[in-house]
Structures are given as structure tokens and as C-alpha cells.
Structure 1
Amino acid sequence: MKLTIFHIDAFTDTPFKGNPAAVVPLNTWLPEADMQAIATENNLSETAFFVLDANGKFHIRWFSPMTEIAFCGHATLASAYVLFRHQMAASPVTFWAKAVGDIVVVQGDDGLIEMSFPNREPSPLAAADIPPALKEGLSIAPLEVLKNQQAYIAVYGRQDDVLNVVPDLQRLKALAPLDVAVTAPGVQHDFASRYFWPANGGDEDPVTGSIHAGLAPYWARRLDQPLLTALQASRRGGLLTCRVEGDRVYVSGSCVQYLEGTIEV
């Protein structure tokens, strides 16, 4: 069987920056083991697969090299980019995923692609509830720790702390199934972050759209502003625009195509 595959750099307008995702459009679902094998072979943060249903929604699933992921932003952004550019889909398009429901995606006149996520604002943890593995797993002690469905979020006072923190990945792996985000006020952006996910995908994720469904509400409340710019300060780096409106968080970004090809399975 031959399948078309796209390799897209998401949350960037510069090749070789942002977060690379593979996108594999399907007519019908492959066996789960095959999708996982393709994602492992691709060895990118995520590989997205989607199938159009009879109601016009694209059911989407995401796989890291290690496991299926419940919620992925950058590979959804990349999938929308493929639909708009290669399948001439009309904006908006709607994706559906079991863990998050509908994700409506709109392409703006400025070329930015905006995704509508559920608001996953994190809750603060009392000091006694912070897991020892989190305290031992970060080289700089955070000012506070939050938690949502996806990750522990360590909050720092300065962007330099986010840049300089060194994770002990073996310690953080013990926090599975949750990952770890670190965040602080930004210098040229409203806030900055990094994301570590040794239990689910790898060491450090270049740009994590999904965690901004939690980071953006936190910073919107703290800064008292609903519109935010965000830097994910990984080695590749990525830029996001976030807008918080009630129970939805809108996350926008750009994409750059690196590759279009064919795989055989």
C-alpha cells in the first residue's frame, strides 16, 4: 500500500524551525499497530493521521515515536495546513478527537492558522502535593507548580530560568502519564515556556500547541489580558498567538512545508 506523507514544520515561518510533524491523510483507518510503526519510523514529535467522516469532520489521531497521544496541537496545525494547501479544503475545517472533541480550524487572511481548543486552565498545587520527582527533576526550584490534564506546570520568575533549567529526564519520567512544562514571563513575548515529555515522546518537545490550552488561560488571568504572544524556547524555537475566550482557547501559528512524498506499508 502506498500512502502520501507530508513533513511540515509547525509554529514557524522559517524552514528547520518550529516543531516538525508528519501528516498522513487516509481514506480509511490503518491498524493501530501500523500507525504506531509509521510514527516510530518517522521519529518526529508526532505523526498525524486523519479520515473524513460522512458529516464532513476529520477524525484525527496523533502518534509520537513511543505511543498514541491524546491531544496534539502542532500536528493538528500541520494537518490543517495540508488540507488548505493540498486538498483545497475550505476554511474552516473541523477535526474531531476522542479526548478533546471538536477542534475548529480557520485560516486567516494573514496566512495564520487558528485552532479552537478547550480551555484547560491548570490548578495550583499545594506544596505538600508537589511530587518529589518534580522537585528533584528540575535544576531550578519553581515559584509555584500547577497541574492540568496533560502536565505539571512549573512557574518561574524570569525567562532566563526557563532557558537555564536542566531537566533530570529519568526523574520526570516517573511522573507518567503527565508531562512537565516550565514557564515564565517573556522578554519580547508575553510568556515563554519549554516542555519535557520523556514518558510519552522524547526529551524536549520543540513546540507544544496543546499545552497552550493550559498556559494561555493562566497567563491571561495573571496578566489580565486575553490576547497573548508566546515563545516556546526550545533549540528550534516556535511562536504562537493565543486568545482566551471563556471555555475556549484559540492558538494560532504558521507552517512551512519541508517534504511531500510516498511511503509504502
Structure 2
Amino acid sequence: MTVEMHVVDAFTEHLFGGNPAAVVITEEWLDESLMQSIATENNLSETAFLKPVENNHYQIRWFSPLTEIDFCGHATMASAFVVFLKNPSLLEVKFSAPAVGDLVVTQQEDGVIDMSFPNRKPEPVADVPQAIWDGLSKKPQQVLRSEQAYFAIYDDEQTVRELAYDSEQLKQLAPYDVVASAPGNDYDFVSRYFWPANGGDEDPVTGSIHAGLAPYWAEKMGRQELVAFQASQRGGVVYCRLDGKRVHVAGRAVLYLKGEIAI
């Protein structure tokens, strides 16, 4: 049996930038253990699996090399990119997942892919786990938490860029990951995302976490539209916009690979 697979670099205009994700579309779900094996073999941050529901509507599941996860932004962007690639006249697609409901994704005239996410603004943490203090080389000014991750907030971009981390310590925070963020120099804010408990040491660009970062920094800066940069080795630009209870997370993507996997 062969199954078509695409690999897309998300949140970038150039190959080998942003965050790569694999996308597999099947009429019915593959066996769960097989989906996990494919994701592990791909060894990318995520592999997204899509199952058609009706016209322009798909169920979506995301797998890291270690486990299935509830929500992934860059693999959603990659999935939309593939659907739009297969249907050039299509301008909107909807994905559904239990943890986040319906995600509507549109393709703008300039090629930017815009994803509508639920607002996941983090809340301050009263008792900060010791693993935060031991797992990050610099003590954050504030620690918050969302459904997805602990937010370590710093005063300046350079601290975030130079931050070192201890994966073994951060693993103790499972099921939560850790995002470090600060106001940016050339962008409104910057971030780095560490997730040793769920996928890997550092994620190149994490679309889902901007559903929490954007409302946090929007409140701080008094603006509804922000441009962010995830300062990983690959890096990626993320356009954010608040719209009521939704957060729009947008960017560009490029195709790296189209092929077949034999299973």
C-alpha cells in the first residue's frame, strides 16, 4: 500500500526555513499505531493526518515523533497549503479537532495563509514549579500558563535568544511545554519554544502557541495586530491579529517534498 505525503516548510518564504511538517490525506484514518510510526519515521516536529468530511472540510490529527498532540499550528498551515495546492481555486478550508473545535483557514491574494484559532491567553501562575527555575538559565520576570505551556516572560529579546535550557528538567513539566518570550527589536515580540516532554528539545516555529502569545502581548502593547518572530535556528515570521474570541495566526509556506510512502 502506498500513501501520498507532502512535506511543507511553514511560516517562511524560503526552503529550509520555518518549521517543516508532513501532511498525509486518507479517506479513512490509518491505524493509530501506524500514524505514530509514520510520524516517528518522519522525525519532523509534526505529521498531520487529514480525513475528508465533506467539501473543503477535514478532520485533522497531529503526531509528533513521540505522541499524538492536541493542537499544532504549523502543521495546520502545512495541511491547508497542501489542500490549496490540490485545489487552486479554493480560498477557504475547515479543519476539525476535538481539543480546539473548528479551525477555518483562508488563503489571501498575496499567498499568506490565515488561520483562525481559539484565544488561549495564559494566566499567571501562583506556584511556579521548581523545574522552571532549574530548567531555564535565566529567571523569567513572570510565569504564566495556558492549556498548552508555561510562559516564561522576559524583558528583552537578547535574553530570550541567549537562553539555555535543561531538557531533563523541562520534561518534568509534562504535559506542559515551555515558551520563552520578550518584546522584540525588529518585531513586536519574539519567542522560543521548548517541548522535550512531547516532541523535541526546541521547536523551530510554533503556530499554536501564538494563540496565547498574541493576546498576552496585545494587551501589554495596546494593539490588536502584531508581527512576531520565533527565534529558533531556522526562525519564522508570524502575523497575529485578535478578533474577539479568536486569534488569527498567519504566515507563508513553501513545498519541500511530494512523494509516496510504502506501508
TM-score normalised by length of structure 2: 0.98
Q: Which of 139, 143, 146 is 2:137 aligned to?
A: 139
Q: Distance in 1 between matches of 2:18 and 2:69?
A: 19
Segments ≥4 residues shifted beyond 4 Å = none
> Structure 2 regions of 5+ residues with no counterpart?
none
Q: Which residue of 1 aligns with 2:50?
A: 50
* 8 A contact 1:83–1:89 mirrored in 2: no
Q: Which residue of 2 aligns with 1:158?
A: 156
Q: Supply the AA of the counterpart residue of 2:86.
A: H
> Alignment identity in percent?
57
> Structure 1 regions of 5+ residues with no counterpart?
none
Deviations 1:116-152 (A, max 9, x none): 00000000123xx000011110000000001000000
Q: Distance in 1 between matches of 2:159 and 2:137?
A: 10
Report the 3-state secondary structure (helix = DSSP H, G, I; strand = E; otherwise coil) of the residue aligned with 1:53.
strand
State whether structure 2 residue 82 is matched by structure 1 residue 82: yes
Q: Which residue of 2 aligns with 1:34?
A: 34
Q: Which residue of 2 aligns with 1:15?
A: 15
Q: Distance in 2 between matches of 1:212 and 1:142?
A: 19
* 8 A contact 2:26–2:51 mirrored in 1: yes
Q: Distance in 2 between matches of 1:45 and 1:150?
A: 16
Q: Supply the AA of the counterpart residue of 1:2.
A: T
TM-score normalised by length of structure 1: 0.98
Q: Supply the AA of the counterpart residue of 2:239.
A: T
Q: Which residue of 2 aligns with 1:200?
A: 198
Q: Any residues of structure 2 matched to 1:98-177 within 5 Å, and which? A: 98-126=98-126, 129-177=127-175
* 8 A contact 2:56–2:92 mirrored in 1: no
Q: Which residue of 2 aligns with 1:221?
A: 219
Q: Which residue of 2 aligns with 1:182?
A: 180
How big is the shift at 1:100? Answer: 0.1
Q: Distance in 1 between matches of 2:136 and 2:260?
A: 41
